């Protein structure tokens, strides 16, 4: 039984070492990647919200919650209008 524990412990140590090496190579190749800081503008925010609402709409349609679908569709139309005006 001790042998299984030792093997598992060695395997976890190996994974930790491997993970560290992979992470170091990523940093060496691409530079520091955390925290990711992207500037977001109004269009990106609206497109993200549009994607979220389309996902919600699909879920509501699947559950046949049509009154809620109507509300979400109206919000989608409003966002689409805002995007057209940008």
Which tokens hold the place of 51? Answer: 């994607």
* pLDDT of 34 above 70: no
Residues 65 and 84 in one domain: yes
Count of C-beta atoms within a 10 Å radius of residue 68: 14
pTM confidence score? 0.55
User: If you average pLDDT over residues 70-78, what whole number do you get?
Assistant: 95
**Same domain as 22, residue 62:** no
pLDDT of 42 over the 60 cut: yes
Say yes or no: 60 and 43 in one domain: yes
Does residue 25 share a domain with residue 50? no
| Domain enclosing residue 81, as ranges | 38-86
Query: Are residues 29 and 55 part of one domain?
Result: no
Angle at the Cα of 52 from the Cα atoms of 65 and 82, rounded to 5 degrees? 105
Are 73 and 42 within one domain? yes
Does residue 42 sit in the same domain as residue 12?
no
């Amino acid at each position: 039984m001790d042998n299984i524990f030792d093997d598992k412990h060695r395997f976890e140590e190996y994974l930790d070492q491997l993970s560290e090496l992979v992470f170091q190579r990523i940093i060496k190749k691409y530079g520091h990647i955390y925290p990711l800081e992207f500037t977001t503008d109004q269009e990106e925010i609206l497109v993200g919200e549009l994607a979220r609402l389309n996902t919600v709409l699909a879920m509501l349609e699947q559950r046949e919650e049509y009154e809620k679908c109507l509300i979400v569709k109206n919000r989608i139309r409003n966002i689409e209008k805002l995007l057209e005006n940008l």
